[in-house]
Structure 1
Amino acid sequence: MTVIERVRIGRGGSGRGGTGSGGPAARAAQDLLRVARLFAVTGRVAGPAVGAAVRHRVAGRRQEAARTLYHAAPVLLARLGATFIKAGQVLATRRDILPPALCDQLGTLHDDVPATSAAHTARMLREAYGDDLHVLFPHVELTPVAAGSIACVHRAVDQQGRTVALKIRRPNIDRLMARDLRLMRRGAALAARLPAFAGLPVTEIVGQMCDAVAGQVDFRAEADSLHRLRHNLSGVARVWVPAVRQELCRDTVIAMEFIEDLDGDARSVAPVMRKKFAESALISIYHMLFVDGFVHCDMHPGNLNFTPRGQVVVLDAGFSVQLTDRLRRLFAEFFMNMAVGRGTRCAEIVVESATGLSPTADVDGFLERMADLVRRNHGLPAKEFSLMGFATEMFDLQRNHGVHAAPELIFPLLSLLVIEGTIRELHPGIDFQETAKPVINRGLWSAQRPGTGRN
């Protein structure tokens, strides 16, 4: 079961100036009020869990204490609101720095929130389009077809008679999230000074998370990302990214083609079709990773849908990462060497791509154990190979030996891990390593395609 957010997004005020108006003194007062509310909610939700965890620790049940806290984490984040839900979703991918059991719990965080009221939706549309609203859209359904913590999606008809999807940002959500992210950064800066966090890149980790969350409120950037993904994946069979109607987009609205009959669960279709879905979804991720280097990093099941005509539909590109050409090639080389069992070279690539080493790093030990990990997994039958298990062990080795992974590689890799379960359900026998080989070859040896945005 997923954790359900029951927080009313507009709690900070529904007026234009409800979350960020006034000078520095007013903003400081608002920050203090927000901190007080966050602490109050944290005390009510986390207090019982912390008490139970302490009792487990006193009794010598360390694992039970950890499980108690991990179970409480997504409940707390859901109660704290949209910014913290998004932050938890990003942190759920950081298996390179967080315990896998905690990441599993954070992975249950999904947007499932009450829809924006019709009055608020109408107001946001008027603010976005002004007097042109009814000219551009003769018909808009104020009841959304989907509701998330940042935006709701509405069906509309444009002046050419085309059915379009309007992703409309919730009122004031940008200001509320900007304030929460500012407080998170300040909290991280204070935490980094504490002895308990000595030697840990707390501010860097929180900064990366905040950047990822902030990007999901920038609708102009997301529209551009969707357009790029549509172009980049146009040659991948059975993959469909909705076309963006750039002339109809605004700062708070993304307009795109409306795709009918989307289904997030393809398990009910014929086995042959399920296999095609799995292959197309996997190849699309590989194409992002190895060929274009522009990667959709939020490929959870809600953003990966299917149509009765056999297409895989990729949605919501607000959390995307552009790899440098060097990192893209290293990524491709790593997977190629893993597929042929060259463990030593795989280990060397991880070190080459690392952002740094801890003062006590054991590089030789890491190289030896990483090479062994690749050798143990090479040649396993497809049904026995687990990409998640492989990555989790690799991250453990990096943490234990002081090799700091580059976040530019971690986020894209974990986009693949996120959909491994979905792909396995559709096609249990799919071979992740063999499927990757032809795409890796294109990425390593083909000429750079114009317009991909690589650097």
Structure 2
Amino acid sequence: MLEDLGPSFVKIGQTLSTRSEILPKAFCDELEKLQMACEPLPFDEMLAALDAQFGSRREEIFVTIDPTPLGSASLAQVHRAVLETGDIVAVKIQRPGVKETMALDIDIMRMFARQASRFMKDEQMLDLRDVVEELWATFLEETDFRREAENLSEFASLNKDVAFIDCPKVYPELCSEYVLVMEYIDGIPIYSADKLIEQDYDLKEIGSKMLDNYATQILDHGFFHADPHPGNVLIRAGKIVYIDLGNMGKLSARDRAGFGDIIEAVGKLDASELKDALMRFAISKDNAVIDHTRFLADLDLLLADYGSCDVAEIDIGAFLNDILALTRQCKVTLPSSITSVSRGIVTIEGTVGPFIPNLNIVAIINDHIRHSKSERDELIAAFQDLARSLRSSASGSLDAAAYSGDALKMLTRGQLKMNMEVLGSEAPLTRISKIVNRLTIALIIAGLFIGSSMLSLSTMEPRLLGVPVLAFFGYLGAAILSLWVVFDIARRK
């Protein structure tokens, strides 16, 4: 059904296939098929798409093209080919009309998101409209193969010194928006665990190396594979090869440091440090609105829940969702990059989870942070923190002494005034306001009934239904207001 609905829904199905905490296993097993292959398009259509890009040069560039696709995904189809140089390549060809189909899908999703957002509570973890717009931005990136060619080059450059990580070599002179030509990777899909075991691969080693390198991608490079599902990872010649680099996440230096601080605080189960890290990581926060006491208490409860579990039992997806929900409730807005990082972490855990059941990416990232910091660096950082704290304390003490002197002078002259604010007082005042409004309307209704009754005894003309017109409209107004008050009381319970 998702295949028939189109590429947008196929991508959603691929994401859901790794979320076993959302869907039953039978559904996840069925959705996993979307990661492997979709219904292929006829070879003639693919050749026509290549001719649209290369024209008559197509037969000169590609000596042969295998009509049987290597893979058929929701956005593109990949065929094995041989270049005039003799190089064996994989040619990724975008499905004709896929962008138009996706644009229609996204428009429908936007409409549903607008309607659904009216019924979602303020503390809802995600704004559906933001999710749809992020989905559209991701699709635009994935359907521009020139960007994927740049991603392949950058990923290869960043990981050139890593012996066990690789990606296909790209041929940029043959790439365009709709066609990508890259090295053919003859490897074993990571989801084929039986084949890997037959080839004497250690599944635990593959899983732990993948997670450690993923921590490097996030924290050191700030350039990471945002969709590392099983269909995008192959094993070849002892190397983990990432393919389909159309969807890559990027983190600024500030975001990398902030995310590392958050994970480090989680590893220490330190609620105070986690709160400070989240506040530093946030892109907007209103300190006047944030209930810091409640925020810290909720983080204490959250860490206590997860702290009672073994590391291997922590559901990182649920944990990140809880963190996002808490920050949203407390009016702390985290950068949009947290969404792609969270999705990537959840996806890679679903990919390698069966290989390393006793490890967790939180522990891997914390080990990475510890190993990346030398004792000298930590000592320097500690002295810098101490110096900043001493300077801040000295400055604060001087300010406090000055303010105390001013306050005492004002107190002796009877000029000292005090403003007080009771935190959490807005909600009860709003309720009292509604009660007063209802009482006011009730008094108006009573006045209308009494006034109309007095007028109905008079001989005033003209008359309607036996009573003066003015009295009639008074009764009508009183009746309408009465019904509204009763309806409002029932609606608000």
Superposition TM-score, scaled by structure 2 size: 0.65
Using the TM superposition, give the Cα deviation of residue 145 of structure 1 relative to its aligned residue in structure 2, in angstroms.
Answer: 0.9
2:164 to 200, 214, 238: 238
Deviations 1:26-62 (A, max 9, x none): xxxxxxxxxxxxxxxxxxxxxxxxxxxxxxxxxxxxx
**2:256 — aligned with what?**
328
Of the three residues 369, 380, 383, the one matched with 2:298 is 369
Cα distance in 2 for residues equivalent to 1:168 and 1:443: 41
Between 318-327 and 403-412, the greater mean CA deviation after superposition = 403-412
Q: 1:101 maps to what in 2?
A: 22
Q: CA deviation at 1:439?
A: 3.1
Corresponding residue for 1:416?
345
Structure-2 separation of matches of 1:163 and 1:377: 49
Deviation at 1:206, TM superposition (A): 2.2
In the superposition, relative to structure 1, how do residues 277 and 296 fare at CA in structure 2: closer, same or farther (>3 Å)? same
Q: Which residue of 2 aligns with 1:450?
A: none
Structure 1: gaps (5+ residues): 8-79, 448-455
2:215 match:
286
1:341 corresponds to which of 269, 275, 280? 269
How far apart in 2 are the matches of 1:177 and 1:243? 29
The verdict on how the C-alpha distance between 1:408 and 1:387 changes in structure 2, with shifts beyond 3 A counting, is: same
The farther-off stretch of 426-435 and 274-283 is 426-435
**3-state SS in 1 of match to 2:188:** coil
More deviation, 351-360/406-415: 351-360
Q: How far did 1:314 drift?
A: 1.0
2:313 aligns to what SS in structure 1? Answer: coil
Corresponding position of 2:65 = 140
Q: Does structure 1 retain, via aligned residues, the 8 Å contact 2:63–2:83?
A: yes
3-state SS in 1 of match to 2:79: strand
Show the counterpart of 1:150: 75
CA distance in 2, matches of 1:103, 1:365: 35
- Secondary structure of the residue that 1:425 maps to in structure 2? coil
- Do the aligned partners of 1:303 and 1:314 also contact (CA within 8 Å) in 2? yes
Which amino acid in 2 is paired with 1:129? F
Partner of 2:240: 312
Q: What is aligned with 1:301?
A: 230
Q: Which amino acid aligns with 1:435?
A: I
Matched to 1:427, the amino acid is I
Measure the CA separation in 1 of the matches of 2:42 and 2:78: 13
Mapping 1:166-245, distance limit 5 Å: 166-185=91-110, 188-189=113-114, 192=117, 194=118, 196-197=119-120, 199=122, 201-245=127-171
SS in 2 for 1:154: strand
User: Following the alignment from structure 2 to structure 1, what is the Cα–Cα distance between the partners of residues 330 and 251?
Assistant: 25
Aligned-CA RMSD value: 3.4
Conservation of the 8 A alpha-carbon contact between 1:226 and 1:242? yes
- CA positional deviation for 1:250: 1.7
Deviations 1:399-426 (A, max 9, x none): 5545444321121122111121332311
Q: 1:413 to 1:141 in 2, by over 3 A?
A: same
Distance 2:214 2:84 in 1: 35
C-alpha deviation, 1:148, in angstroms: 0.8
Q: Are 2:2 and 2:13, in contact at CA under 8 Å, matched by a contact in 1?
A: no
Letter in 2 for 1:369: D
Verify the 8 A CA contact 2:311 2:363 in the aligned structure 1.
no
Q: In 1, distance between residues paired with 2:43 and 2:309?
A: 54
Q: CA deviation at 1:277?
A: 0.6
Which has the larger helix fraction? Answer: 2
Tell me which residue corresponds to 2:449: none
Q: Percent identity?
A: 24
Q: Secondary structure at the match of 2:189?
A: coil
Q: Displacement, 1:134?
A: 1.5
Post-superposition offset of 1:292: 0.9
- Aligned residues of 1:266 and 1:426 also touching (Cα < 8 A): no
Distance in 1 between the 2:318 and 2:12 partners? 24
- The count of residues paired between Structure 1 and Structure 2 equals 365
Q: Any conservation in 1 of the 2:155–2:167 contact (CA below 8 Å)?
A: yes
CA contact (8 A) 2:159 2:165 kept: yes
Match of 1:248 among 167, 171, 174: 174
Q: Which residue identity lines up with residue 383 of structure 1 in the other structure? A: A
Structure 2 unaligned regions, length at least 5: 378-493
Quickly say closer, same or farther: Cα 1:248–1:103, change in 2 above 3 A. Answer: farther
> What is the alpha-carbon distance in structure 2 between the residues aligned to residue 185 and residue 179 of structure 1?
10
Partner of 1:163: 88
Distance 1:197 1:429, change over 3 A: closer
Change (3 A) 1:289 1:122: same
Indicate whether 1:81 and 2:81 are aligned.
Answer: no
> Structure 1 residues 191 and 375 mapped into 2: Cα distance closer, same or farther (>3 Å)?
closer
Partners of 1:362 and 1:154 in 2: how far apart? 57
SS in 1 for 2:131: helix
Q: Highest CA radius of gyration, 1 or 2?
A: 2
- Write out per-residue CA displacement over residues 189-242 of structure 1, whole angstroms, 9 at most, x where no aligned residue: 5665x4x24757443332222212222211111221222222222233311111
Aligned in 2, Cα 1:185/1:444: closer, same or farther, shift over 3 Å?
Answer: farther
Q: Distance in 1 between matches of 2:366 and 2:120?
A: 41
Question: Partner residue of 1:264?
Answer: 190
| TM-score calculated relative to the size of structure 1 | 0.70
* Residues 93-144 of structure 1, C-alpha deviations (whole Å, 9 max, x = no match): 9x9xxx9637997994735421110110110111111122122111111220
Partner of 1:114: 39
Structure-2 change in CA distance of 1:355 and 1:210 (3 Å): farther
SS in 2 for 1:426: coil
Higher RCO (C-alpha under 8 Å, 6+ residues apart): 1
Alignment-mate amino acid for residue 280 of structure 2? E
Paired residue type of 1:212:
T
- Deviation of the 1:390 alpha carbon: 2.8
Deviation at 1:81, TM superposition (A): 1.6
Equivalent pair of 1:293/1:323 in contact (CA under 8 Å)? yes
